[in-house]
Structure 1
Amino acid sequence: MTARARLFRAPMTIASLVLVCLFGILAVVAPILWGEEALTARPTELLQGPSAEHLLGTDNLGRDLLLRTLVATRLSLGLAVLATLLAAVAGVLVGGLPAVLGGRVQRTFGAVINTWLAFPVLLLAMLVAILLGAGTTTAVLALVLTMTPSFARLAQTLASRVGGSEYLAAARMLGVSRRRQFTRYVLPNIAEPVIVNVTISIGGGLLALSSLSFLGVGVQPPDYDWGRLLKDGFAQVYNSPTAVIGPAVAVVLAGVAFGALGESLAGHLRGQDHGHTGGRRGPAPGPGPGSGPDGGQPSTPDTLLEVDGLSVAFPGEHGWVRPVRDVSLTIRAGEIVGVAGESGSGKSVTMMAIAQLSAPGAEVAARTLRFGDEDLTLLRGRALRGALTGVGVVFQDSLTALNPAMRVGAQLAEVPRTQRGVARRQANRDAVAALDAVAIPDPARRAGQFPHELSGGMRQRALIAMSQIGRPSLIIADEPTTALDVTVARRVMRLLRRECDRTGAAVLVSSHDIAVLGELCQRVLVMYAGRVVEDVPVDALRDPARLAHPYTRALVAALPDLDSDRDAPLATIPGEPPDPADPAPGCGFAARCALATDRCRAEVPELTGHRHGGRVACWHPQDREVVRS
């Protein structure tokens, strides 16, 4: 049985849904059937008790109390629904819109929401009533003002997750407008919880509006809602207790019905989300060796990406944490370069910084950050997004990198529509062709499916198709095979290389597995403690004796192969990577290196040329013939 079928077979869901539908029907038909009769005064039937003709008796004008209760359903529910919807719209705008407007706006709106929530609800409502005077409009406005901050806090929490997602980062990189980011990426992904909260809040809004009318600041005669009926009936409650039974029971039943229905929907969503885990964010470009204090390779006429002195810092509990320090890299047109290293080495942070996709709060500094003919450090806004259209990104977790609320084909079509202004129909055809190019079977059908309907391998292929559809000159692949099994991972890597050979795009791909990079790349950059410690041609990986840095040798030695002795323990690297928040002076690898000396623990080595054709940053390279530049 599906989750949806279980939802609509649950007793609480059935009972609450029946009650909500019943109240909805009454709101529509009661004023039509009994509206005139409920307003007709009968001087000969004043303040009568319950009878066969008047089941709840009559009021001080002889009007039937039951009919008035039924007719009041429209105004009572209508005002509650209207106020809740207005509060939800305002709350979603206040809480959700900042997710696409930047960190500073998010912090400002967050402070506004916190201050707003600090005001007592009843006090705020009474203040509005005093300023504007009693009436229906006042009651609705007071309720909107008191409900908006709770919706804003919910939207803020939900939108912050979307704001940190890879698919929204990719949309920003493509140059998708903020309006479209909000309507196509943020809203669809926060809609369900907001709708559930609206359902629950209608019951609370109904009670609040009835309370305001009961206090005399809400609905005014000759109009009446359940709260007004309670106020009128309270004056005769001791002589005719049934005068308050009708509206009181209606308020309670309607409130319970909407609340129970909302709780059922919320439970259904929690059941759907149980066991779901999101991937971490991690996109962007990060190149090969470059010029500068790190001693990277100098740029050449065919240099596509040049990075000089890149550092990234995040605010921490005890000051700034710098996971990337003074990195200088280059990558040439058409070149395939790998980036290897343990978790925390700075691979993904470096690439995100180059692609201008660093997390909010990050401080990124570089002497040069040049892509093609543009220095990205000098560009802002539309000019920066335009320069980055030549970069395609393949994210690590395909399930979180694709917008779960959009069909796969529609997401691919965003690229030609945004970057080249292609018409919708042609963009959709381009999307299908891109899926076909990466060997996804039945691409037209797959383009119409949502990401969760595709296997992990297909989703990763779809990401490769998305990175290629914009005809980029550089593709960034951040650990694209992490979530895949070995067989699928090899296929994805071969596909990536085939597509890049076909289009001539340069590639920068990171991975923990240096062996995988050895099959795909022309050279590999090894990162440790936020720095590039070796730039090595891929053929040197097949002959560990040619590797110069102890860390690179340790990484290669830790990879078992078919010739490994199964009776011997697996090779490991002793110790742990350094904490970026508490860096030690000198070489970052000194604490784990058997060759370390006092100089290693005091001075940071620079990248220098090595006879294997690459570069190494080590005071004691294991192959001593180092070319000093």
Structure 2
Amino acid sequence: MSLPRRYLRSPMAWTTAVMLASLLVLALAAPLLWGTAADRPDPFAVLQGPSTAHPFGTDNLGRDVLARVLTATRPSLLLALAATLLGATGGILLGAATAVVGHRARRLLTALINLLLAFPALLVAMFLAVVFGAGAAGAVLALAVAGVPGFARLAQTLSAAVAGTDHLAAARVLGLRRHRLLWRHVLPNTAEPLLLATTTAAGTALVALAGLSFLGLGVQPPDYDWGQLLNQGLDRIYADPLPALAPGLAVLYAAVTFQLLGEVLAGGVARRTPAPRTPAPPPAPRGSPRPKAGGGPAEEGLVLQVEDLTVELPTPGGLIRPVRDVSLALRPGEIVGLVGESGSGKSLTALAIADLLPERARVTRRTLRLLGADLATLTPKQRDRHLATGLATVFQNPASALNPSLRISTQLTEAVRAHRGASRAQALSEAADALRKVGLPPELLRSRPHQLSGGQRQRVMIAAGLMLRPGLIIADEPTTALDVTVQRQITRLLSDIRRETSAAVLFISHDVALVGEFCDRVLVMYAGAVVESLPADRLAGGARHPYTRALVASVPDLAADRDRPLPTVRGTPPDPLKPAPGCPFEPRCPRRRDHCAEQAPPLEDLDADHRVACWNPVPVEVLAS
């Protein structure tokens, strides 16, 4: 749905549009229609209460209060908008300049902004209004200066994200002057949230300006605005409240209008990319099994059983399916490798199993059982507890997975204390044992993550997973950021853990050689689907899918000819926004046929331990040669 159409269907947007239009009409037409009545004194109607001729009464000169309130719309709005624009301009330029000036100037500007923020804005406005002198100009300047720090801090925060971008660095290399960097690179990338903040600040400035006029520091007679009219009617508040309430209601009405305008604009920006409709799933290829209604039958002795797992994610370009009909099973003590290029869906598959996908992601599956329990039949609280105690996840980057502000002891013991009710002493004892199992001294319990090396942090992550004795360990590329020696230590550690605890391990990696050596079975993923499943000892010489063969061939060895370029998988993965009807690997496949572009191949059995999704797999005699 387009943005204007969405606004047309929003009751808040309609209400805001009507209120804003009424203010604009009054600001333009009220001085023409009621300006004469607002300024004409009537000695015979002094201080009258509400009547048919004067719905809100008259003031001490007999002037109609309602006409004066309506006529004051223009000066009240113009002065508030002027103060807002001046404050926003100064604050935005001050805050955004921190992204283009040098280090020393940036520190000085940051210190200045922090100093200005230390003083309450309203008190600053009152003080400056006295310094500048009572009157409309002094009040506007006072409010503008008081609003500068808030805009400066917002602009500084937004500009900090732009300061580290490659395009700004490239512009610096090109020698652009600072004012061009500011106008061409910084401000355009921060304009949207700053505009929303300015809209909301206009309502606040209107109230503040009325307050200054009410105190006698703003608009001075014979001119008037809503704040001065409120002051004039205050003396009669107990006898005739309407002359005092009328300007107060006008201030409230205008302030709410600007606040609602900011809310509507912010909501429209947040929902600019609507969640696309879920298209109908493509028809299943001939020969592929139809998914059954409800969960599939449970198999005995499985730690994890997943059937037909699909993940859908909304994106600005439409709905994508980065994981499609993935099925896998792990037995106790088994290590299964999940390999494929970046973006093939390996990590999303693991996150879907662990229920860690973002809220907008949609997960469907025919079966998902962990340690014999069907997760679909559990309540959310039961599912969370079952996943927390039965599954452990070792992430790729332990530096971001560990809380830098907490000691290792706290991070290792909190799960045991939360799920098993262990005492602090017992939890610390178990944490020390877990560190010993991963080859770390218990003294590290007193350390924080930044005091450990990368390999030690990864071992701590594994130790944290062992605290609840899980049946399944999902290791999502746990060795990617480590050197070869530490990689060997981590894989040996996982092998020892599975022998000691009989835990199954789902090992995700893009390192084909490591997976072939470390795992028992290997699942190869491409474009979100499993294209081959085979024993790990057949990976190097017995893979039948052309994609798997290309991955194996791209692994360098010591016997490779150094004068020739390293082999690679030619081409690029398919665009997930434009899925083709046939085999996703067909454009890159050296064995493609016409039929490959028409229909996706199902995952079929070659033998009891080997499955492949290919219409034209590599023949056995070719492998033997």
Task: Give the TM interval when normalised to the shorter protein.
Answer: 0.5 to 0.7
Task: Please give the per-residue CA displacement for 1:507-549, whole angstroms capped at 9, x wherever unaligned.
Answer: 001100011111211010000111101111011124x1x2211
Q: Do the aligned partners of residues 207 and 426 (structure 1) sit closer, same or farther apart at CA in structure 2, a change above 3 Å counting?
A: same
Question: Where do 1:328-339 residues align within 5 Å?
Answer: 328-339=327-338
1:562 equivalent in alignment to 2:558: yes
1:592 equivalent in alignment to 2:588: yes
TM-score under structure 2 length normalisation: 0.55
Q: Are the equivalent residues in 2 in contact too, given 1:292–1:309 (CA < 8 A)?
A: no
Which of 484, 488, 507 is equivalent to 1:486?
484
Q: Are the equivalent residues in 2 in contact too, given 1:334–1:506 (CA < 8 A)?
A: yes
Q: Do the aligned partners of residues 481 and 227 (structure 1) sit closer, same or farther apart at CA in structure 2, a change above 3 Å counting?
A: same
Which of 562, 568, 574 is equivalent to 1:572?
568
Shift of 1:460: 0.7
Q: Are the equivalent residues in 2 in contact too, given 1:536–1:612 (CA < 8 A)?
A: no
Match of 1:614 in 2: 610
For the residues of structure 2 that align with 1:565 and 1:481, how far apart are their CA atoms? 27
Match of 1:314 in 2: 313
* SS of 1:422 mapped into structure 2: coil
TM-score under structure 1 length normalisation: 0.55
Q: Do the aligned partners of residues 209 and 433 (structure 1) sit closer, same or farther apart at CA in structure 2, a change above 3 Å counting?
A: farther
For the residues of structure 2 that align with 1:502 and 1:274, how far apart are their CA atoms? 47
Shift of 1:199: 9.1
Which of 488, 494, 497 is equivalent to 1:496?
494
Question: Where do 1:76-115 residues align within 5 Å?
Answer: none
Match of 1:421 in 2: 421
Q: Do the aligned partners of residues 481 and 292 (structure 1) sit closer, same or farther apart at CA in structure 2, a change above 3 Å counting?
A: farther
Question: Where do 1:338-349 residues align within 5 Å?
Answer: 338-349=337-348
Shift of 1:502: 1.4
* SS of 2:537 mapped into structure 1: helix
Shift of 1:205: 4.7
Match of 1:366 in 2: 365
Match of 1:475 in 2: 473
Q: Which amino acid aligns with 1:528?
A: Y
Match of 2:546 in 1: 550
Q: Which amino acid aligns with 1:396?
A: Q
Q: Which amino acid aligns with 1:518?
A: G
Q: Are the equivalent residues in 1 in contact too, given 2:396–2:476 (CA < 8 A)?
A: yes
Match of 1:51 in 2: none
Q: Are the equivalent residues in 1 in contact too, given 2:371–2:471 (CA < 8 A)?
A: no
Match of 1:207 in 2: 121
For the residues of structure 2 that align with 1:585 and 1:460, how far apart are their CA atoms? 41
Match of 1:375 in 2: 374
Match of 2:203 in 1: none
Match of 1:69 in 2: none
Q: Do the aligned partners of residues 578 and 502 (structure 1) sit closer, same or farther apart at CA in structure 2, a change above 3 Å counting?
A: same
For the residues of structure 2 that align with 1:624 and 1:566, how far apart are their CA atoms? 30
Q: Relative contact order (alpha carbons < 8 A, sep ≥ 6): 1 or 2 greater? A: 1
For the residues of structure 2 that align with 1:353 and 1:532, how far apart are their CA atoms? 15
Match of 2:517 in 1: 519
Match of 1:439 in 2: 439
Match of 2:106 in 1: none
1:357 equivalent in alignment to 2:333: no
Shift of 1:364: 0.8
Shift of 1:563: 2.2
1:583 equivalent in alignment to 2:582: no
RMSD of the alignment, in Å?
4.2
For the residues of structure 1 that align with 2:425 and 2:164, how far apart are their CA atoms? 37
Q: Which amino acid aligns with 2:362?
A: E
* SS of 1:303 mapped into structure 2: coil
Task: Please give the per-residue CA displacement for 1:123-156, whole angstroms capped at 9, x wherever unaligned.
Answer: 9xxxxxxxxxxxxxxxxxxxxxx9xxxxxxxxxx
Match of 1:430 in 2: 430
For the residues of structure 1 that align with 2:299 and 2:374, how far apart are their CA atoms? 16
Shift of 1:210: 4.4
Q: Are the equivalent residues in 2 in contact too, given 1:408–1:451 (CA < 8 A)?
A: yes
* SS of 2:523 mapped into structure 1: strand
Question: Where do 1:394-409 residues align within 5 Å?
Answer: 394-409=394-409
* SS of 2:308 mapped into structure 1: strand
Match of 2:599 in 1: 603
Question: Where do 1:65-464 residues align within 5 Å?
Answer: 200=114, 203=117, 205-211=119-125, 214=126, 300-388=299-387, 389-440=389-440, 442-444=441-443, 446-464=444-462
Q: Which amino acid aligns with 1:438?
A: V
Q: Are the equivalent residues in 1 in contact too, given 2:516–2:522 (CA < 8 A)?
A: yes
Match of 1:133 in 2: none
How many residues are paired up? 387
Q: Are the equivalent residues in 2 in contact too, given 1:370–1:376 (CA < 8 A)?
A: yes
Unaligned runs of 5+ in 2: 1-11, 24-83, 85-109, 136-142, 166-287
- Rg larger in 1 or in 2? 2
For the residues of structure 2 that align with 1:617 and 1:439, how far apart are their CA atoms? 41
Percent identical pairs in the alignment equals 47
Unaligned runs of 5+ in 1: 1-111, 124-145, 147-195, 215-225, 238-250, 276-290
For the residues of structure 2 that align with 1:425 and 1:507, how far apart are their CA atoms? 30
For the residues of structure 1 that align with 2:494 and 2:447, how far apart are their CA atoms? 23
For the residues of structure 1 that align with 2:305 and 2:111, how far apart are their CA atoms? 49
Task: Please give the per-residue CA displacement for 1:191-229, whole angstroms capped at 9, x wherever unaligned.
Answer: xxxxx9999387365232343xx4xxxxxxxxxxx689x
Shift of 1:302: 1.0
Q: Do the aligned partners of residues 412 and 202 (structure 1) sit closer, same or farther apart at CA in structure 2, a change above 3 Å counting?
A: farther
Say which is worse superposed, 350-359 or 446-455, in terms of deviation. 446-455
For the residues of structure 1 that align with 2:353 and 2:112, how far apart are their CA atoms? 41
For the residues of structure 2 that align with 1:401 and 1:564, how far apart are their CA atoms? 38
For the residues of structure 2 that align with 1:321 and 1:255, how far apart are their CA atoms? 44
Task: Please give the per-residue CA displacement for 1:355-384, whole angstroms capped at 9, x wherever unaligned.
Answer: 111123111111111112222223342111
Q: Are the equivalent residues in 2 in contact too, given 1:457–1:484 (CA < 8 A)?
A: yes
Q: Do the aligned partners of residues 294 and 608 (structure 1) sit closer, same or farther apart at CA in structure 2, a change above 3 Å counting?
A: farther
Shift of 1:561: 1.4
Q: Are the equivalent residues in 2 in contact too, given 1:294–1:327 (CA < 8 A)?
A: no
For the residues of structure 2 that align with 1:550 and 1:434, how far apart are their CA atoms? 43
* SS of 2:303 mapped into structure 1: strand
For the residues of structure 2 that align with 1:198 and 1:366, how far apart are their CA atoms? 56
Q: Do the aligned partners of residues 292 and 203 (structure 1) sit closer, same or farther apart at CA in structure 2, a change above 3 Å counting?
A: same
